[in-house]
Chains A and B, each alone.
Chain A
Amino acid sequence: MASAIATALPARPGHAPTPRANRDPAWARWLLTAVALAFLAFFLVLPIVVVFAQAFAKGGAYFLAAVREPDALAAIRLTLLTVAIVVPANVVFGVAAAWAISKFKFTGKSLLTTLIDLPFAVSPVIAGLIYVLIFGAQGWFGPWLIAHNIRVIFAVPGIVLATTFVTFPFVARELIPLMQAQGTDEEYSAVTLGASGWQTFWRVTLPNIRWGLFYGVILCNARAMGEFGAVSVVSGHIRGETNTMPLHVEILYNEYNIAGAFAVASLLALLALATLVVKSAVEWRQTGSA
């Protein structure tokens, strides 16, 4: 949750200076700017610098060794696999939910809207525990799953489920206001011109929401890679098998392998930074074309 806010905040574009701000004395403006910058430097920039500094504290060779170690590689693979499943699933769900909520009237609409926000309201640890209670050995479906030799908890399916739960509002939340603002007239136009529902979606609705959708995907992706709490509960921390990158970082750290922990953490940070760059590019492109 906190990471979502942190990535979303600096992104909102276009703060035109208000007349009142212009009239503030120069020293006040400088002071406020300095305070803000110092705060950002201390709480955002410094930690990232420290991550990279620590990662390379024992030299590049140690960094490479820590990243190429089999358990680290397994964690990277698992994280990428999870993202590869979760993000497309949430794109399909998010677009479908946003389409339904913004373009149609039906009973239970406000309930659906509330449910989409649920993962934001629930602590990730609880999200993980829910799946343990449902699919764990002592859970509702536990005996049945064991009888059929299907592993959900302490295995990849559990990690995917928990990550999906935590990240599913991102795409839908991004699209609903956008699609509501765009209304339904263009879709109706397409229909009167003879387009099928499918054609209307691909040729009219999707192109209209493409940048919003891309933005939602980026946020969803960032969160899916970084999710710790929910995954930690369902993963079981089996090295080389059910450790994602954030879990692997924690294990290394707990073993006092500081440089190794930071080496893997720096990869995550790098992915986050790349995400931010892509997101800014999208926004720049959006404001340019609007």
Chain B
Amino acid sequence: MSIEAHSLYKKFGAYTALDGVDLNVPQGKLVAVLGPSGSGKTTLLRIIAGLEFADPGSGRVLFHGDDVTDLPAGKRRVGFVFQHYALFRHMSVFENVAFGLRVRRRRDRPSREAIAERAHRLLELVQLDGLAGRFPSQLSGGERQRVALARALAVEPKVLLLDEPFGALDARVRKDLRRWLRRFHDEIQLTTIFVTHDQEEALEIADEVVIMNKAHVEQVGTPQQVYDRPASPFVYQFLGNVNVLRAPALAGARRRGGPAEDPNTEGQIYVRPHDIEVSPHDAGGSGLSAIVRHIHAAGPHARLLLEQVQTREQVEVEISRSELADLDLGVNDLVRLRLRQSHSFDEDYAI
């Protein structure tokens, strides 16, 4: 079931949460809506779920081509998982999962046995079958989140919507659970949108990433597309570390082949720390002279903090530890920098 949203607008008083947002999620994909807090991503998800309604007169929400804009949440057949789980605290895990089936009208309601069987099968699916009798307060965060997922799946939703599903978990559980979610999605093949502010999470597991900022969609693309070819300075800075350098200083340091480049551009150059090549300082060579100010070698990569000789701008560079060993660098050494890949944007493009 595909999900489409066309030009959605939403205001809360003076605050604009969505300012003409479009979204297109193809059947069976796992799509991440990524953005800083306050970018409107959760509002978008809640409008798709029917928990919130777009401003009157603004766009439509379509599920598989059918207009669901005016349908209430209960009729949309969506599975929604909340950041803080929102499990029914007075019900056991089993009762939580069975809830969606129990509240159906008598003629649509499965038999007691069928409900029990389905609930247990879902708990098996999320690997929690042994905990059916527990109460939410007796579970860990990761377990609660999986119960919430099983509960959402019990009503056989056509789409799955996850609001910061791992936001309340600690780093380690979060990593495990997001890989688990990816595998799980590959198994059940349900069109899924999840909202997150964690770029690592989005880039790691999503088929497609929708990047939002200030009530707008900034860019849509596969994780590689958005990382390698950011459409705006915001996306560049939001997805990983970046050096922002003044352009003229770097005219001689750029290599050919970088996308969207114009050597005469006045303005700023965006370059990722790992896209900078460091070589020993040779007189007359091309590139940019810089002085090593700090070497941070603990971790998988070595990070160098350098200062450009010409402009005194700070540059962060990431190189492998073996490269660092080959260069045999010390603090206050002079080196040359060359940019393997960089971007420039029009100066008037506000970040």
A interface residues with partner B (beta carbon < 8 Å) = 185-186, 188-196, 199, 203-204, 207-208
Complex: chain B residue closest to A189, CB-CB: B86
Chain A residues in 8 Å Cβ range of B154: 193
Task: Check if B78 sits within 8 Å of A192, measured CB to CB.
Answer: yes
Point out the residues of chain A lying under 8 angstroms from B155, CB to CB: 193-194
Q: Which listed residue, A191, A193, A195, A207, touches B90 by the CB 8 Å rule?
A: A207
Contact bitstring B110-150, A, C-beta under 8 A = 1, else 0: 00000000000000000000000000000000000000100
Contact A193 B103 (CB under 8 A): yes
Can you report 6 residue pairs joining A to B where beta carbons are below 8 Å apart? A189-B86, A193-B74, A195-B100, A207-B88, A208-B89, A208-B90
Given A192-B50, A194-B104, 4 further pairs, Cβ under 8 A: A193-B74, A193-B155, A195-B99, A207-B88
Chain A, residue nearest B72 (CB) = A191
Give the docked Cα–Cα distance between A185 and B51 (Å): 10
Q: Are B84 and A185 in contact (CB under 8 A)?
A: yes
In the complex, whether B152 has a CB less than 8 A from a CB of chain A is: yes
Interface of A is mostly: helix
Q: Is the CB of B86 within 8 A of A185?
A: yes
> Which A residues are CB-close (under 8 A) to B103?
190, 193-196, 199, 203
Residues of B within 8 A of A208 (CB): 88-90
Closest to A199 in B: B103
**A197 to B99, alpha carbons, bound, how many Å?**
14
Contact at B90–A194, with CB atoms within 8 Å?
Answer: no
How many of chain B's residues touch chain A, expressed as a range?
A: 20 to 34
Q: How far is the CA of A204 from the CA of B87 in the complex (A)?
A: 10
Shortest CB–CB separation between residue A30 and chain B, in angstroms? 40
Bound state CA distance, A185 and B86, in angstroms?
5
In the complex, chain B residues whose CB is within 8 Å of the CB of A207: 88, 90
Q: Which 9 A-B residue pairs are closest in the complex by CB-CB distance?
A: A185-B86, A193-B100, A195-B103, A192-B80, A189-B86, A207-B90, A194-B74, A199-B103, A191-B73
Q: How far is the CB of A212 from chain B (nearest CB, A)?
A: 13
Q: Are B104 and A186 in contact (CB under 8 A)?
A: no
B60: interface (CB < 8 Å): no
Q: B63 to chain A: which residues have CB within 8 Å?
A: none
Known contacts A193-B103, A193-B155, A196-B103; is-contact A186 B86 (Cβ 8 Å)? yes
CA distance A207 to B89 in the complex (A): 9
A195 and B104 CA atoms in complex are apart in Å by: 7
Taking a contact as CB atoms under 8 Å apart, the answer to whether A192 and B104 are in contact is no
Residues of B within 8 A of A189 (CB): 80, 82, 86-88, 148, 151
Contacts of A192 in B (CB 8 A): 49-51, 73-74, 76, 78-80, 152
Contact of A193 among B50, B89, B99 (CB under 8 A): B99
Q: What B residues does A196 contact at CB under 8 A?
A: 74, 103
Given contacts A192-B80, A193-B74, A194-B74, contact A186 B100 (CB under 8 A): no
Residues in B neighbouring A185, C-beta threshold 8 A: 82, 84, 86
